[in-house]
Copies of this chain bind each other. A is one copy, B any other.
């Protein structure tokens, strides 16, 4: 019954607008397999939710990502 929330910045993928459907599929499968292997969790009741966050909405070092990357 795990619930996993993955938050990543909305970038990368084929056109820079965020992970591709295939990449998201790999994340979902990878996390589910990991929880099955390590904690014997049932994939059928393992939820994974991916959130893509706009660069301006993610802060690190006191700056938004776009500003941080100008340093």
Interface set of A (CB-CB < 8 Å, partner B): 1-9, 12, 19, 21, 23-35, 37-41, 43-53, 56-65, 67
From the candidates B21, B24, B43, name the one contacting A62 in the complex (CB within 8 A).
B43
From the candidates B37, B39, B46, B49, name the one contacting A61 in the complex (CB within 8 A).
B46
Which 4 A/B pairs are nearest by Cβ-Cβ distance? A28-B59, A48-B59, A32-B62, A30-B34
A47 touches B24 (CB 8 A): no
Contact flag A50-B57 (CB < 8 Å), given A23-B38, A25-B67, A39-B12: yes
A56 touches B21 (CB 8 A): yes
Residues of B within 8 A of A25 (CB): 56, 59, 63-64, 67
